[in-house]
C-alpha cells in the first residue's frame, strides 16, 4: 500500500497533475483533452454506496447549471470500469466516472489515505474534490466532502471562476 506522506498536499495555485483514465460508458478522460477548459475532479470511495450515491446524484442534478458554466465534471474512484458502468447506468449519471484502480491519480492528489473502521486500518479514497481552472491551476480544494452539500459548493465556486 502506498504511503501518502511522500505526496505533497495539492493546494490552490498548484498545477493540476496530468492524467488519462478509462471511464464509464467506453470513454477515456484526460487532462490533455480538457486543456483550456475548467473541470472538477471529485474523488469518491466506492460506487453505489450511500454517500457516493448521494454525492453523484447531487452532481447529476446540478449538471445543467455546471455545464452552463462550461465546467466538465469527472468522478474518480478505485472501482473497475464494470462497477462504474453499473453505477452510472443505475442512477443515470451523464458525466464520466473514471477508474483509478491503481490509485495513480489519487496518489498524485494525496487522497489515497489511511482510514480506520471498527478498529482496523486500511488505505482508501478520501472523499475530496479539486476545481481546476482553464489555466490548469487548482482553484479550489474540498477535503472530506459532505456528499449532500457538495454540488452546491461546486456550483458556487464555478460561478466565481
**Residue pLDDT, tens place only, 24-42:** 999 999 999 999 999 999 9
pLDDT of 93 strictly over 80: yes
Average pLDDT across the chain, whole number: 91
Neighbours of 110 (CB within 10 A): 18
Whole-number pLDDT of residue 48: 94
Whole-number pLDDT of residue 8: 57
pLDDT of 5 strictly over 90: no
pLDDT of 9 strictly over 90: no
Q: What percent of the chain has pLDDT over 70?
A: 95
Tens digit of each residue's pLDDT (9 = 90 or more) over 104-116: 999 999 999 888 8
Whole-number pLDDT of residue 117: 79
**CA atoms of 8 and 43, how far apart (whole Å):** 17
How much is the average pLDDT of 117-141? Answer: 92
Q: Which residues are catalytic?
A: 52
Q: Which class does domain 4-159 fall in?
A: alpha beta
Tens digit of each residue's pLDDT (9 = 90 or more) over 47-65: 999 999 999 999 999 999 9
pLDDT of 6 strictly over 70: no
Amino acid at each position: 500500500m502506498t504511503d501518502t506522506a511522500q505526496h505533497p498536499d495539492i493546494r490552490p495555485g498548484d498545477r493540476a497533475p496530468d492524467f488519462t483514465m478509462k471511464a464509464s460508458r467506453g470513454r477515456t478522460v484526460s487532462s490533455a483533452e480538457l486543456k483550456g477548459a475548467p473541470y472538477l475532479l471529485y474523488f469518491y470511495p466506492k460506487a453505489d454506496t450511500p454517500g457516493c450515491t448521494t454525492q453523484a446524484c447531487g452532481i447529476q442534478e446540478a449538471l445543467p447549471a455546471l455545464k452552463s458554466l462550461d465546467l466538465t465534471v469527472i468522478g474518480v474512484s478505485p472501482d473497475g470500469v464494470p462497477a462504474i458502468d453499473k453505477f452510472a447506468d443505475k442512477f443515470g449519471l451523464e458525466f464520466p466516472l473514471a477508474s483509478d484502480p491503481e490509485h495513480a491519480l489519487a496518489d498524485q492528489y494525496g487522497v489515497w489515505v489511511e482510514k480506520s473502521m471498527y478498529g482496523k486500518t486500511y488505505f482508501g479514497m478520501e472523499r475530496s474534490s479539486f476545481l481546476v481552472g482553464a489555466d490548469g491551476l487548482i482553484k479550489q480544494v474540498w477535503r472530506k466532502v459532505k456528499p449532500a452539500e457538495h454540488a452546491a459548493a461546486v456550483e458556487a465556486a464555478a460561478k466565481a471562476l
